[in-house]
Structure 1
């Protein structure tokens, strides 16, 4: 197919040889299958801020580091330069998270290059070598659901130990890849990380981790109902806060809060819901 304008620059630079087809178009980006020499990869083109539908970006960008103080001041003022800097920081956040998590042993696509707002990375494939499906497109036996849930809880822990919370983890941004000579080994690969947050530096990190883990529980609980009774989220976070969490820490899936402890996650959810309702009311009044 003809290369889209945003990819033509990469073709001209020799980073891409040909564009094979569009793979998907989501709320954040469009993804294309491309050929780079003998390898098939994917190219993720980030949408401009005014063309995407992702909400509550301010929660995700809290305390993110920028290159210099000038950029930080411009971003705070909301100037044109500041908006451009904020957009660049949003896009590069996924690249940084991919390298950071890959180094920590988390199963994420291998990044290769980031050029002019386009991320070149590994194409995650299924047993036939085609683009791997998302979890929401796959049905599981109870045993498979339990196994994949356990794997992903381990990935959440590994990410947290690396200081990262995905922030939008669900069955829609996890791929089911295959490996082995006969392609029989299936394993989940986590994608879509531009909204990843620093666990220690973002005040919303706990709430986001709780939601990520709850999403995994609810999805796999459809196939293995016993998972719906687990409480890995608060267990993981309490161990993390106490400095007792590492990638080998045994988890039970059970959690009993200390007497008189405040459920901070619930309080934060109530605050966020109230804020969203107020924003919606203001929007209706302005129409």
Structure 2
């Protein structure tokens, strides 16, 4: 096929030899199957900010650090240069997350380079060597659903142990290869320790999984893996080997009304004492 304009710089640099076909087009990027020497990989071409339906919400940007102070100031002011830097930071977030997660044993595509707004990475394939389908396009038995759900909850745990939360996890950004689910699409990934929305985003990710798989395995519908994982994480008890139940015990301790009333009267007493 004709080489897309955005991939041409990779051809010129010898990073890509041939664009074979378009694989998919999503809300933030278009993905192509490419040949790099003897290897078949994929090239993710990020769309311009004005063309994306997925906006860079403040909840995803929070906690992301820019080392260059000039770039940080330009991004805050919203200058043309600042918007360009913001785009680079958005794209690099996925590359950084992929390297970080791959090192932690999370099932993600292996990244190679992000060059001129194009991310070059492994092509995830099925047992026949064809491009792996999205989870949303796979029909599952109850046992397969339970198995895939368990695998993905474990992947979420591994991600959080590495300090990363996907932030937009659903059946649409999970592929299924011969060994099970592979997590993709991470430009909105957040740092769990520096983002105040971390707990909300983690729980939403895990609830999305439960909601999807419960159509095949109804017993998953009311599980609470997200809350359980976050409680273990904040208590410093989460590890890749943590045994999860999917249940969180309700806090049945009686409210300390006397202490609450006492605390509520202290400001008034102090005010009277200060007169």
Q: TM-score, length-normalised on structure 1?
A: 0.86
1:244 to 234, 237, 249: 237
Partner of 1:61: 61
Partner of 1:187: 180
1:208 to 201, 205, 211: 201
Seen in structure 2, the aligned counterparts of structure 1 residues 257 and 56 have a Cα distance that, compared at 3 Å, is farther
Partner of 1:26: 26
- Aligned partners of 2:44 and 2:250: how far apart in 1? 42
Shift of 1:57: 2.1
| Other structure's SS at 1:172 match | helix
| Other structure's SS at 2:182 match | strand
- Aligned partners of 1:111 and 1:48: how far apart in 2? 21
Q: TM-score, length-normalised on structure 2?
A: 0.90
Shift of 1:72: 1.2
Deviations 1:115-156, CA, capped at 9 Å, x for gaps: 111000000001111100000001111111001100000000
Count of aligned residue pairs for this structure pair: 254
- Aligned partners of 1:56 and 1:41: how far apart in 2? 27
Which contiguous aligned blocks of 4+ residues in structure 1 show a shift greater than 4 angstroms?
none
Partner of 2:111: 111
Partner of 1:231: 224
- Aligned partners of 1:17 and 1:68: how far apart in 2? 34
Partner of 1:282: none
Partner of 1:176: 176
| Other structure's SS at 1:27 match | coil
Shift of 1:259: 4.4
Mind listing any 5+ residue stretches in structure 2 that lack a counterpart? 255-275
Comparing 192-201 and 81-90, the one that deviates more: 81-90
- Aligned partners of 1:22 and 1:259: how far apart in 2? 55
Partner of 2:89: 89
- Aligned partners of 2:209 and 2:168: how far apart in 1? 11
Deviations 1:233-277, CA, capped at 9 Å, x for gaps: 10000110111101101000001243489xxxxxxxxxxxxxxxx
Partner of 1:35: 35
| Other structure's SS at 2:31 match | strand
Partner of 1:151: 151
Deviations 1:189-229, CA, capped at 9 Å, x for gaps: 00000000000101111111010000000111110000112
- Aligned partners of 1:13 and 1:56: how far apart in 2? 30
Shift of 1:63: 1.6
Partner of 2:271: none
- Aligned partners of 1:85 and 1:260: how far apart in 2? 50
1:196 to 189, 201, 226: 189
- Aligned partners of 2:56 and 2:250: how far apart in 1? 29
Query: In angstroms, what is the RMSD of aligned CA positions?
Result: 1.2
- Aligned partners of 1:75 and 1:258: how far apart in 2? 44
- Aligned partners of 1:45 and 1:258: how far apart in 2? 48
